Structure 1
Amino acid sequence: MTSTRKTALIAGVLFIITIVLSIPGALLYGPLLNDPDYITGSGADTQIALGAFLEIGVAIANIGTAVVLFPILRRQNEAVALGYVASRIVESTLIAVGILSLLSVVSLRQDFAAGDGADAASFLGAGDALIALHAWTFLLGPGLLAASTGVLLGYLMFSSRLVPRWMALLGLVGGPIIFLSGIAVLFGVYDQVSVWSGLATALEFAWEASLGVYLIVKGFRPSPILREAEAAAEAKAAARAAAGRVPQAAL
């Protein structure tokens, strides 16, 4: 297996991980997000912690996809490839902030349960603020920033022809749709969790899912930048081999 085939395989697996972990991770938050009296109730802290753990995996895999692909994509356009890495890092940072906000709600519930005569209103108010913070981080991170990552990666894959162009078009078209949907949510046109918001994410979901499967099954398509990457890898391997023989030759 060549180095570029390994890169494609790892990237594909990371894309699938982001999808596989993100869906159950979001569903596990249900008891906290849907119960306005979660802090004063019995809670489902273990379930929330499991959801946070899965989302941490999503954040790591998000960054991993960009870092793994960067050495190849930078040969097509280094500035855009760097922008893709930066966008993934910021997106994952916002996901982490959202995770911390929900875990803080769990801590508030535990503090309330442990206290005698605690002021329920103040605890519930603080919990509502933290839940609102999570909602905004979700809109800005996996929402608006996902649009930029979809467009940047779609452009790089479309112009380099590393995957079929019809597939890359899913990112180029889906990204702006998610962005416009995020703007609509921002200005209150419809709710973040709604049919319209779900439909807006369809193309972006199809883009990342199809890309992950394609990279795992087939790898990259032949491309000039791929030949450059393989040549550079071979040159480095030859240089290391030559360097390893120098001490023996000197003896």
Structure 2
Amino acid sequence: MTTTARPTTTTRSSGDPTRNNARAAGIFYLITFAASLPAYALIQAAVNPDLTVAAGHDNQLLTAGLLDFVNALAAVGSAVALYPVLKRQNQSLALGLVTSRLVEASIIMTGVVSLLAVVTLNQEVTGVTGSTQALVAVRDWTFLFGPGFMASFNAVLLGTLMYQSRLVPRIIPTLGLIGAPLLIAANVATLFGHNEQTSGVTMLATLPVACWELSLGIWMTFKGFRRQLS
């Protein structure tokens, strides 16, 4: 009697209901890049090294705040889109990812509100340099704990799920699992004053996690999830 070998792994067809989840999650991940990178550039251009805000940059801060707001919403959206699929792999980790993304979004929104408060003070109050510096400092700390620490935790949670389930090629979550401890170490060094958030060391430590999120977003948007055939 002859037997036919069964394929082990294949890409989900467009008719599979998880395809919509994958596409939505991928698009949300790409939106976070499209929103966060310009926001970061605008803030860097508007804020001086002494944490004062250069004159005439209110519109830049408003735009950056709006972009970071979109970034926060997209971060939560990606986790919500993934949850129905990931809970079949490990419900605890899947719920942890949603919670982690919510915490990250909350921290980002704290930074957004701080930036908008700076704009209000600049427009309506004079002689409040100290107050604006304090608000800019708050935003800097939210940047460390939001896109910094929380991105590392997200990489551990989602990277573990993706690696174990093989929903995407394992090289993709491997980038996140390698990059997460590097970024955590760089952020801890920043927390205790041994490193700057914008230093070359931090940027280098951020690169693997950034590549993980970007490649994951592209794969899920255009390829979808993979599955084991029974």
Paired residue for 1:61?
A: 74
- Give unpaired runs (5+ residues) of structure 2: 1-13
- Give unpaired runs (5+ residues) of structure 1: 113-117, 228-251
Paired residue for 1:130?
A: 135
TM-score under structure 1 length normalisation: 0.82
- Partners of 2:55 and 2:189 in 1: how far apart? 36
Residues 72-130 of structure 1 show CA distances to partners (whole Å, capped at 9, x for unaligned) of 10111111111110000000100000011111111110113xxxxx4x2xx01111111
Paired residue for 2:183?
A: 178
How far the C-alpha of 1:223 sits from its partner, in A, is 3.4
Paired residue for 2:18?
A: 4
TM-score under structure 2 length normalisation: 0.89
SS in 1 for 2:226: coil
- Partners of 1:198 and 1:36 in 2: how far apart? 21
Check 1:143–1:161 CA distance in 2 against 1; reply closer, same or farther (3 A cut).
same
Q: CA RMSD in A?
A: 1.6
Name the one with the larger helix percent. 1
- Could you tell me which of 191, 201, 204 is aligned with 1:196? 201
Q: Is the 8 A contact 1:104 1:130 kept in 2?
A: yes
Paired residue for 1:83?
A: 96
Amino acid at match of 1:207: W
Paired residue for 2:10?
A: none
- Partners of 2:111 and 2:228 in 1: how far apart? 39
Paired residue for 2:106?
A: 93
SS in 2 for 1:222: strand
SS in 2 for 1:219: coil
- Partners of 2:44 and 2:188 in 1: how far apart? 25
- Partners of 2:181 and 2:105 in 1: how far apart? 20
Paired residue for 2:147?
A: 142
Paired residue for 2:46?
A: 32
Q: Does 1:73 align with 2:86?
A: yes
Paired residue for 1:233?
A: none
Q: Is the 8 A contact 1:37 1:124 kept in 2?
A: no
SS in 1 for 2:137: helix
Higher RCO (Cα < 8 Å, 6 or more apart):
2
Paired residue for 2:3?
A: none
- Identical positions, percent: 42
Larger Rg belongs to? 1
Aligned pairs, number: 216
Q: Does 1:108 align with 2:113?
A: no
Q: Is the 8 A contact 1:31 1:43 kept in 2?
A: no
- Point out 4+ residue stretches in structure 1 off by more than 2 angstroms: 35-39
